[in-house]
């Protein structure tokens, strides 16, 4: 006996066409139902990962070509899944010193910004809601 619950959802023709087009090139994702079920559960898992820093996991938003390159790498078998791909790349990033260089550049930019702010004692709002900046004079 089938223990799965059947639900009905409304989806625009455009969205459904987008899903069908995507699934045409990804037979490994199964049927529409399998894909939608998997996508919903993955969304929940990713949301929980972003909220659960105790596991040492964070949610990473991938954009544009980065996401496509990683998905292609996974589909080619270079990585077992997206989490493995991101983790492996970060490990490589750490081991070759790139991580330290990026952090050093960020710290340098912060120090430059901090130096600019050190020139000012404070910012005070006047009656017209405009700001007056008083120059800070070091002794």
Tens-digit pLDDT profile for residues 27-49: 888 888 888 988 888 888 777 66
pLDDT value of position 14: 92
Per this entry, what is the length of the chain?
Answer: 139
Q: How far apart (Å, rounded) are the C-alpha atoms in residues 71 and 61?
A: 13
Q: Please give the backbone phi and psi of residue 32, each rounded to the nearest 5 degrees, phi first.
A: -55, -50
124: three-class secondary structure by DSSP: strand
pLDDT of residue 12: 93
pLDDT less than 50: residues of the chain: 121-122, 124-139
Quote the pLDDT of residue 82.
87
- The confidence score (pLDDT) of residue 75 equals 92
pTM over 0.85: no
């Amino acid at each position: 006996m089938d223990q799965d619950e059947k639900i009905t959802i409304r989806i625009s023709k455009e969205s459904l066409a987008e899903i069908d087009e995507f699934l045409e090139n990804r037979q490994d994702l199964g049927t529409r139902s399998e894909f939608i079920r998997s996508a919903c559960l993955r969304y929940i898992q990713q949301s929980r990962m972003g909220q659960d820093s105790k596991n040492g996991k964070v949610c990473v938003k991938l954009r544009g070509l980065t996401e496509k390159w990683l998905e292609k790498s996974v589909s080619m078998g270079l990585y077992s899944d997206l989490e493995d791909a991101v983790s492996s790349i970060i490990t490589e990033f750490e081991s070759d010193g790139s991580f330290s260089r990026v952090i050093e550049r960020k710290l340098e930019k912060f120090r430059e910004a901090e130096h600019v702010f050190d020139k000012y004692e404070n910012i005070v709002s006047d009656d017209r809601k405009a700001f007056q900046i008083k120059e800070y004079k070091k002794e």
